[in-house]
Structures are given as C-alpha cells and as structure tokens.
Amino acid sequence: TPERGRIEFSGVTFGFPGAETPVVKDASFVVEPGKTTAIIGSTGAGKTVLLNLMLRLYDPQQGTITIDGAPVSQLTREQLADAIGLVPQRPYLFAGTIASNLRFGRSGATEEELWEALRVAQGEDFVKAKELGLDEPVSQGGTSVSGGQRQRLSIARLLVARPKVYLFDDSFSALDVATDARLRAALPEATQGATTIIVAQRVSTITEADQILVIEAGEIVGRGTHDELLASSDVYQEIVRS
C-alpha cells in the first residue's frame, strides 16, 4: 500500500529562542497513515507548537520529524506543502472572493469541487445565502464573514488542497456540537482516508480517534484510545471531567 502520510517524532525538543524552558520536551510518537490522531491538553501545553513543527515553521533543537520516512528538514517547501496542510487556530482570509480563497488550496479546483468542500465543511448554506455565492467579495482578514464562517472556509480550503496529512488546530470548537458532529462524520470520505490530526478542546470531538495524545507542559503524558486513557491517565480523566 502506498504511504499516506505517516509522521514520526523521535526525541523532539523545541524551545523558543531566548526562553529558559523548552515548550516541547523529548516528544516521541507515531501518527499512523490513514488514521485519526487527536491531541488534547490544556491551554499553553504545546499543541499548536507540535503542529507548527510538522510544518517546519520552526526546527527542533533535538530530535527528528519524518513524513513517510523523509525528514521534514530535507523536504522542499513544495514537497512539504503537498504532504501536509493546516487549518490554523486563527484562520485567515485574503482579499478576493470566497472562490479565490478556497482556490488558494488548489488553483485548478472546479466550482463543483469548491461546493463539495463547502458541503463537508458545513459552509454550503451560508455561502448560498450570499448574494453572489462563491463570487461574494471577502475583505482581507475576512472581516465580512463571522469567525465561525471563516473557520469553515478555512476547513473547506484545506479539503480543496487535498494534502496527504490534514492538521486541524482547534478547528471545531467554535462550532456547535451538532455541526461539529456532522462535519466530522463527513470528513473521512472527503479526505479519502488521509492521515488526520485534530487538536481539540472538547473530548466529544475526539472520542472516536484511533489514537489520542495527551500533552501537558510540552510532554506527552498519555496516549491511547479514549477508553484506554480513561483507564490509564489521570490527566485525561481530569480533562473529561472538566
């Protein structure tokens, strides 16, 4: 079977320049291809930094990160962009139209593909309600759409891009529980079984993940399925209770 986005962290330590303590400490884990891995942990734990390391926004001081066996430090920008895509915690839109923003994922996408991505991202209804639909103008920063709409457009943009690995940084917490559930139910088919990593606040978003990583103060303190962690991790139990 072809590799579909296996990510491996081996002994990864990263700290911001000038900071006394690293924000990711000796992290080792495998994200299995075609599976969903969730990352959960309190605010400031290092979840966003973990994703940013995969995208090489910064390089670790120690350890290696590989995608399908290749160190990310040896991939070109284009190879990395083909392999892995992120819906950032604070999504951004560019000046243009809804369509041009979605096509930032892949310029050759057809209108049909844009609508399909919007359907999965639960953004179809609000785009249809716009006078110009896909051609509705969007201002830089996306101030003409609500935060939740911006988030859905950002999700749709990544679906249009079709990377091997999808990263969602807290992309579902602004959605109501029912919309969150509909979106996640539609995701596997839309991503065609690609590797998915979901950073989440709500436990209900991740209970069905193949693997959950619990992160606290930059360290992986628990890993397993929801049921395994309920039985084994005090930190996870606390998150579930809160």
Interacting residue ranges for ligand TTP, rule: CB under 6 A: 16, 23, 41, 43-49, 89, 170
At 188 the three-state DSSP class reads helix
Q: How far is the CB of 47 from ligand TTP (least distance, A)?
A: 3
Q: How far is the CB of 201 from ligand TTP (least distance, A)?
A: 7
What whole-number distance in Å separates Cα of residue 84 and Cα of residue 61?
A: 22
Residues in region 89-118 near Mg ion by CB under 5 A? 89
Beta-carbon contacts of 163 under 8 Å, excluding residues fewer than 6 positions away, are: 5, 81, 82, 83, 84, 85, 194
Judged by beta carbon, residue 44 or residue 147, the one nearer ligand TTP is: 44
**Quick one: what does residue 180 bind among ligand TTP, Mg ion, none, with the CB cut-off 5 to 8 Å set by partner type?**
none
Judged by beta carbon, residue 16 or residue 92, the one nearer ligand TTP is: 16
The candidate with the shortest Cα–Cα distance to 161, out of 169, 153, 173, is: 153
Q: How far is the CB of 219 from ligand TTP (least distance, A)?
A: 12
Judged by beta carbon, residue 20 or residue 227, the one nearer ligand TTP is: 20
Region at 205 (left for phi over 0; alpha for psi -120 to 50; beta for the rest): alpha
Q: How far is the CB of 21 from ligand TTP (least distance, A)?
A: 9
Token look-up 């999504």 returns 91
**Quick one: what does residue 45 bind among Mg ion, ligand TTP, none, with the CB cut-off 5 to 8 Å set by partner type?**
ligand TTP
Is residue 37 within 8 A of residue 210, CB to CB? The reply is: yes
The three state secondary structure string of 76-97 is CHHHHHHHEEEECCCCCCCCEE
What whole-number distance in Å separates Cα of residue 108 and Cα of residue 106?
A: 6
Binding range to Mg ion, per CB under 5 A, among 86-94, 158-166, 187-195, 226-234: 86-94
Length in residues, the chain? 242
Q: How far is the CB of 158 from ligand TTP (least distance, A)?
A: 18
**Quick one: what does residue 49 bind among Mg ion, ligand TTP, none, with the CB cut-off 5 to 8 Å set by partner type?**
ligand TTP
**Quick one: what does residue 225 bind among ligand TTP, Mg ion, none, with the CB cut-off 5 to 8 Å set by partner type?**
none
Q: How far is the CB of 47 from Mg ion (least distance, A)?
A: 5
**Quick one: what does residue 44 bind among ligand TTP, Mg ion, none, with the CB cut-off 5 to 8 Å set by partner type?**
ligand TTP
Helix or strand (DSSP H, E) at 22: none
14: DSSP letter: E
68: DSSP letter: T
Helix or strand (DSSP H, E) at 224: strand 219-224
Of 36, 37, 48, 151, the one binding Mg ion by CB under 5 A: 48
**Quick one: what does residue 197 bind among Mg ion, ligand TTP, none, with the CB cut-off 5 to 8 Å set by partner type?**
none
Binding site for Mg ion (CB under 5 A): 47-48, 89
